[in-house]
Chain A
């Protein structure tokens, strides 16, 4: 079809965690510019399957930018060259005919490669389990708006809550730090009244788990904020530090 693109893909292939892995070059011919990046990979995979080869493994689920399952480090950037979108929302028109595209998995010791481009991001789940929750009493349903929350605070908590846990922040960070993810999960609860009882216990537990998973130390490069598909801001990280130091140095009854 006219207007379609011929591309060269440089794709990371790795059988399993133990395999060393290598780049393999594929031709992706006759790709419609209106396809999403994942649809382009689907087409490449169908052709591989027809030839009897092992298709390229990559993570995806919703394909509309809400689940956080897709990843891919494309031409040196997580989720590709555009800002504010996930790989499933990236269209092939963002590339040009004849381009060579290098596709790598998220790189971090805490995100081991399962196969090809799919990584194990359960480190994030363990951090969440360490404290990313609130305890609620059973019983009657409380009245809506019973607890007053200023609009700015509600908005800020909501912004933090838009994190979809995709891990682009870790992938983008030169230190493979998970500070943006962890701080967003801490902030969405620390800002609201419902999150207060566990606030200082939570920040200490989640930071400790983040360190135990082997993520790096944030040096405020700001790369995560730029690459985050949901626009989670750096101010979350500073809020996390504030709460952490408050817990450790100023609240003796809260130290755990």
Chain B
């Protein structure tokens, strides 16, 4: 074994991979959240569909998305490898075990929380990502008045066996800016109307909150980073931003659509 592979197969090195992939995924959550906020706009999904097109066609973002897929796979595989290894390190379990006296619930249940996340990610990708790429999604045509951007006319174009070409142009005669885009928005609206999907979404976001409450700050320690003064800032970010605010805003989207749209 080269020293490099030796380093990554040590207990410290395996955790390094968990940490790098986990923190990369955490960073991506912020971007994903900001994009999804377009769902709250009252524009018939124009901004959201434009954002979806941008995310799937802009080369640098495509590269990042491949890194993300790789991270999810590596994170899950190493989670499994580490969890199995740790199980082998203590084959005979304690008859009485008071973990709550010395550690957080999150920190003791990262594997279960992660498994919920994995189920969610797979369903999420097959519902939206795979549909967007290969499903027969309808299109939407937006005609926005150049003089009054609030005035948007939406025409739904059903899928007829062949995808249309994404286009954006200015119609000077009509005085409108026209966008013809794949209508992911309508799919989101449909799914967010289903009880089971809303429930899965909200439960997963709660799991994500607990996973990141421990995971975010843990990731920094795994890198070997610690600081008397600055580590507490990471702890606060992990609790409030990654543990509460981000999962809450994500969960608010299906709840908002389900109850108010």
Contact = CB atoms under 8 A, between A and B. Distances in A.
A242 B221 CA distance: 9
Report which residue of A73, A208, A210, A219 has the largest number of chain B beta carbons within 10 angstroms of its beta carbon: A219
Nearest to B107: A221
A102 interface: yes
A220 B108 CA distance: 10
B5 to A, nearest CB: 11
Nearest to B81: A217
A172 B99 CA distance: 8
B96 to A, nearest CB: 4
Interface stretch (A45-53, A107-115, A141-149, A159-167): A107-115
Contact of A235 (B13, B91, B226): B226
Contacts of B217: 220
A216 B96 contact: no
Contacts of B10: 207-208, 211, 244
B225 interface: yes
A245 B4 CA distance: 10
A235 B7 CA distance: 21
B3 A255 contact: yes
**Residue in B91, B103, B223 whose Cβ sees the most chain A Cβ within 10 Å:** B103
Interface string B92-118: 111111110111100110100000000
Interface in A181-208: 207-208
A94 interface: no
B90 interface: yes
B221 A223 contact: no
Interface string B16-32: 10000000000000000
Interface size class of A (residues with CB under 8 A): 35 or more
A76 B99 CA distance: 8
A245 B16 contact: yes
Contacts of B65: none
* Residue from A73, A108, A211, A221 having most chain B Cβ neighbours under 10 A: A221
Interface residues of B, number: 42
Given A104-B95, A238-B224, A238-B225, A172 B86 contact: no
Contacts of A73: 94
A210 B11 contact: yes
A107 B224 CA distance: 27
> Which of B89, B107, B214 has its CB near the most chain A CB atoms (within 10 A)?
B89
A241 interface: yes
Interface string A210-242: 110011111111110011000000110111111
Contacts of B99: 76, 174, 223
B91 A109 contact: yes
Nearest to A235: B226
Contacts of A110: 89
A219 B218 contact: yes
Contact of A175 (B89, B92, B222, B225): B89
A23 B96 CA distance: 12
Contacts of B88: 109, 214, 216
B55 interface: no
Interface of A: 10, 23, 73, 75-77, 81, 102, 104, 107-110, 172, 174-177, 179, 207-208, 210-211, 214-223, 226-227, 234-235, 237-245, 248-249, 255
The list of the 4 closest CB pairs from A to B, nearest first, reads A76-B98, A242-B224, A216-B89, A241-B224
